[in-house]
Structure 1
Amino acid sequence: MNCSGRFWRSAGSSPGEQVVRLAPLALIAIITVVAFVTPSNLHFSRFLSLAPALAASVWPVVGTVVIGALAAALDVVIAATIGSVSEDLTHLFTLAVIVGATAAAACASHVRQQRERTLADVRSVAETTQTVLLRPMPHRLGRLRIEALYLAAAAQARVGGDFYEALETVHGVRLIIGDVRGKGLPAVGMASAILGCFREAAYDEPDLARVAGRLDVSTGRYTALLPGDRMEYFATAVLVEIPDDGSAVGIVNLGHPPPLLLSAGMVREVTPTAPSPPINMGALVGEDYRIDTFSLAAEDQLLLYTDGVTETRDHTGAFFPLVQHAGQWDADSPSRLLGQLHSDLVRFSHGRLDDDIAAIAVRAAAGTPSYRRGR
Structure 2
Amino acid sequence: MSQARHHDGDHWPMRTFRTRMAALPILPALPVLIVAGVVLGDLVGGAGSSWLPLLAAGPALAATTNGPRGVLYVGLLAGVLGATLGSWDGVPARELAAVLSALAAVTLASGLASALRGRRERVLDAVRSVAETAQHALLVPVPATVGPFQVAVRYSAAAAEARIGGDLYALIPTPYGVRLIVGDVRGKGLPAVGTAALVLGVFREAAYDEPDLLAVVDRIERSLARNLGPDDFVTAVVAGYPRTGHLEVVNCGHAPPLLVHASGEVAAVEPAHPAPPLGLRALTGHTPDLHVLPFADGDQLLLYTDGVTEARDRGRAFYPLDEGLARHASDEPARTLDALHEELLDHVGGRLHDDAALLLIRKPTVREVVVPEPTVCGATGYESAVTRPTARSA
Same fold (TM over 0.5): yes
**Aligned pairs for 1:193-208 within 5 A:** 193-208=198-213
Q: Is the contact made by 1:213 and 1:287 (CA closer than 8 Å) also made in structure 2? A: no
**Aligned pairs for 1:1-375 within 5 A:** 14=19, 16-19=21-24, 20-41=27-48, 43-80=50-87, 83-85=88-90, 89-223=94-228, 230-243=229-242, 245-263=243-261, 264-286=263-285, 288-367=287-366
Root mean square deviation of aligned Cα: 2.2
Q: Equivalents in 2 of 1:38, 1:86: separation in Å? A: 15
Q: How many residues align?
A: 351
Q: What 5-or-longer segments of structure 1 have no aligned partner?
A: 1-12, 224-229
Q: Deviations over 1:295-331 (max 9, x none)?
A: 2222222111001001101112222121222222243
Which AA in structure 1 matches 2:253?
G
SS of the equivalent of 2:89 reads coil
Q: Deviations over 1:334-374 (max 9, x none)?
A: 11111111111111111131101011011111358789x9x
Q: Deviations over 1:155-207 (max 9, x none)?
A: 21111110000000121110000000011111111110100000111111112
Q: Equivalents in 2 of 1:183, 1:209: separation in Å? A: 27
Q: Deviations over 1:70-107 (max 9, x none)?
A: 21122223334xx2246564433322221011111122
Which AA in structure 1 matches 2:77?
L
Q: Equivalents in 1 of 2:185, 2:89: separation in Å? A: 69
Q: Is the contact made by 1:259 and 1:303 (CA closer than 8 Å) also made in structure 2? A: yes
Q: What 5-or-longer segments of structure 2 have no aligned partner?
A: 1-17, 373-381, 383-394
Identity percentage over the alignment?
40
SS of the equivalent of 1:65 reads helix
Q: Is the contact made by 2:158 and 2:165 (CA closer than 8 Å) also made in structure 1? A: no
Distance of aligned partners of 1:265 and 1:46 in 2 relative to their CA distance in 1, 3 Å threshold: same
Which AA in structure 2 matches 1:95?
L
Q: Is the contact made by 1:277 and 1:285 (CA closer than 8 Å) also made in structure 2? A: yes
Distance of aligned partners of 1:170 and 1:41 in 2 relative to their CA distance in 1, 3 Å threshold: same
Match of 2:7 in 1: none
Q: Is the contact made by 1:142 and 1:369 (CA closer than 8 Å) also made in structure 2? A: no
Q: Equivalents in 1 of 2:142, 2:130: separation in Å? A: 20
Q: Is the contact made by 2:131 and 2:164 (CA closer than 8 Å) also made in structure 1? A: yes
SS of the equivalent of 2:230 reads helix
Q: Equivalents in 1 of 2:216, 2:304: separation in Å? A: 20
Q: Is the contact made by 2:302 and 2:358 (CA closer than 8 Å) also made in structure 1? A: yes
Deviation at 1:287, TM superposition (A): 5.3
Q: Deviations over 1:248-307 (max 9, x none)?
A: 100000100011112212111111111122111122222522011222222222111001
TM-score if structure 1 supplies the norm length? Answer: 0.87
Q: Equivalents in 2 of 1:88, 1:40: separation in Å? A: 16
